[in-house]
Amino acid sequence: MPAVPSSPMPVPVSDTGILDVLDRVPDPRARRGVRHRLAVILSIALAAVCAGARSFTAVAEWVHDAPADALERLGVEGRPPSESTIRRTLGRVDAAVLDQAIGVWAWLRSRVVDGRRVIAVDGKTLRGAKDAAGHLTHLLAALDQHSGVVLGQVEVGAKTNEIPLIVDLLDMLDLTDVVVTADALHCQRATAEHIVGRGGHYVFTVKDNQPQLRKRLKVLPWNDIPVSSTISGRGHGRRERRTIKATEVDAGLGFPHATQVLQVRRTVTRKSRKSVEVVYLITSMPMTAAAPAQVAAWIRGHWGIENRLHWVRDVTFDEDRSTVRTGNAPQVMATIRNTAVGILRLAGHTSIAAALRHHSRDPHRPIELLHTI
């Protein structure tokens, strides 16, 4: 089971800055002998990651190279903390509390588009973070599709999987009028009931893990259903065409609250070779509330989490090669990376790699960023 917050966390108000949020995270250390407050160490780590730091060593090098006047703005008094202090302290932070606090802050900065928030849920394994038993850290995250900001994250323990943990993740969020997109793994009756019961809507991909449901979708009279929209594009040496058909369904489908089914036929042409993939989508939203093209756009946005979050963490931050593994440090550092990406996106940066280079050239820049977001 994932960690649950060990102490209550005050809910940030809309004008609370990220540094104020970090200041409210409980310090797990005994007060005696503490030289640097937890908020200071968290702020140092976040500023350093915004400047491109990928490890505790890089965080320590950044803070020791930064001028004193810049560090004063983060609350550093005297000599900056050492690498060992940063590593030990972050390894003891209650990762669930940190995720909850930053998630509330991020929620208040996410945007409602056309009257709705759309949240993509997806998991990621930290391939370099093995515990003593050899288990890899696996995290399940909720991403605001419009802003690209992570709204919440939970750890998936070695003895469980993502399916039951999605409920814990979504319970961090107000799902009223929210659309939750998820891949086929989460196309589960209990998950659908939970989302709708909380006032939200779902859009799931249906694959072979639900064989009976997929069979029922496959035999719907698709030949008699007109194409509702077609999307074409070019890129990476290929031509791609998506044709979308949709139909409304009743309770006879046998899946909770399902009201609309989509068939997305994806045709990819590379040179003279053509491949066709047919994907089925199921949603609790009728056509009167969500046109088929809109539902398909939400799923494309869901697939974009790979590029907007996982790819950035893997490639830009080299996360899969990170060997941070002590205590809660893997999840805490993943949260700090998520937060850095979110802050940079909220500041208007579209290329995270370029943003990191920009902030690495002047230590005052990431610190100023944390004071303005």
Distances (CA, A) of 105 to 75, 173, 183: 21, 12, 26
pLDDT at site 246: 95
- pTM comes to 0.85
Cα–Cα distance measured from residue 2 to residue 154, given in angstroms and rounded to the nearest whole number: 6
What is the reported pLDDT for 296? Answer: 85
Q: Which residue has the tokens 């066709």?
A: 276
Which 8-state DSSP code applies to residue 236? T
The phi and psi torsions of 6 (rounded to 5 degrees) equal -85, -10
The reported pLDDT for the residue numbered 247 is: 95
CA atoms within 13 A on the CB side of 27: 17
Domains of the chain with bracketed CATH: 18-98+326-372 (no CATH), 109-309 (3.90.350.10)
Structure tokens at 30: 């005994």
Bridge partners of 233? 240
Q: Give residue 1's pLDDT.
A: 35
Beta carbons of 98 and 332 less than 8 angstroms apart: yes
Q: Is residue 285 within 8 Å of 178, Cβ to Cβ?
A: no
> For residues 151 and 222, what is the distance between their CA atoms, to the nearest angstrom?
37
Run means of pLDDT, 10 residues per run, the chain, 373 residues: 41 72 93 91 98 94 96 95 95 93 90 83 74 72 90 83 92 94 94 97 93 94 92 80 91 89 91 89 94 88 78 79 74 92 93 96 97 90
Residue 134: DSSP 8-state: S
What count of other Cβ atoms lies within 10 Å of the Cβ of residue 128? 16
| Separation between Cα atoms, residue 97 and residue 115, nearest integer Å | 29
- pLDDT score of 125: 79
- Give residue 10's pLDDT: 45
> Under a CB-based contact definition with an 8 Å cutoff, are residues 14 and 332 in contact?
no
In the numeric block, which tokens belong to residue 253?
């489908």
Task: Return the pLDDT at 238.
Answer: 81
3 state SS of 138: strand
> From start to end of 53-164, where are the E strands?
118-130, 136-144, 150-156
Which has the closest alpha carbon to 96: 322, 309, 335, 325? Answer: 335
pLDDT of residue 86: 96
Which residues sit opposite 136 in a β-bridge?
A: 130
Pairing verdict, β 201-206 and 227-235: unpaired
Is the Cβ–Cβ distance between 235 and 191 less than 8 Å?
no
For position 303, what pLDDT does the model report?
78
Alpha-carbon gap, residue 183 to 161, rounded angstroms: 14
